[in-house]
Amino acid sequence: MMKLSLLVLLGLACSAFAETTQGWSGEADITFDGTSTLHAWGGKVSAKPYATEVTLDDAGKPVRIKADVTVEAVKMDTDEAKRDENMRKAMKVTDYPLIRASIDAAADKIAADGKTPAKLPMTLTLLGKPQQVLANITNWKLTGGKATFDLDFPVSMKASGISVPTVLLFIKVGDSIKVHASVTLTQN
């Protein structure tokens, strides 16, 4: 009888400290901006809808966030057909049709103060090459079952394996691309 009571008590104690996982639906509208010898340029693309898992501790505080976000590279649009054609060629969209961002982060790595998210580490895969990126989170808002925020991070074309040829012997595209994403997460 003593053993049974101890097992029941242990079972209740373990369930009191159990983590729970919530599902959230995600959307992201992305802009990207670069430079060249002659002018600045930019474009836009939307991520495919994605699922986000938020693991909460027994007090309801987030402890881990996981998501896999994909973008169809061919849908990147700079509003100039010839530049889009060159961009898709440089990004080898036939061989690497998807850009991926994988997020699996402990909440304490995201919210330094334990409350407001400030950074988001992720693995960004371009042209099949994964690289670690640390995005800055701004404009964080959580209302009911909806979270909105912005992400900003730079991407090096050289580090990503993207090579853009020089045009007319002197027009070069700058290496750093600024990426901005407006994100909306809705609790399922």
Residue 15 has pLDDT above 50, yes or no: no
Give me the architecture of the 21-187 domain, per CATH.
Beta Barrel (2.40)
Return mean pLDDT, the chain.
Answer: 86
pLDDT at 112 (0 to 100): 63
Q: What are the phi and psi torsion angles at 17 (to 5°)?
A: -105, 15
% residues pLDDT > 90 (the chain)? 62
Supply the DSSP string of 14-50, one letter for each residue: HHHT--EEEEEEEEEEEEEEEEBSS-EEEEEEEPPPE
Residue 108 has pLDDT above 90, yes or no: no
Residues near 8 by Cβ (< 8 Å), separated by ≥ 6? Answer: none
Would you call 92 helix, strand, or coil by DSSP? coil
Cα–chain-centroid distance for residue 139? 16
pLDDT at 172 (0 to 100): 86
Report domain extents, the chain. 21-187
pLDDT digits (tens, 9 = 90+) for 59-68: 777 788 999 9
pLDDT at 3 (0 to 100): 40
Residue 102 has pLDDT above 70, yes or no: yes
Residue 136 has pLDDT above 70, yes or no: yes
pLDDT at 100 (0 to 100): 98
pLDDT at 186 (0 to 100): 96
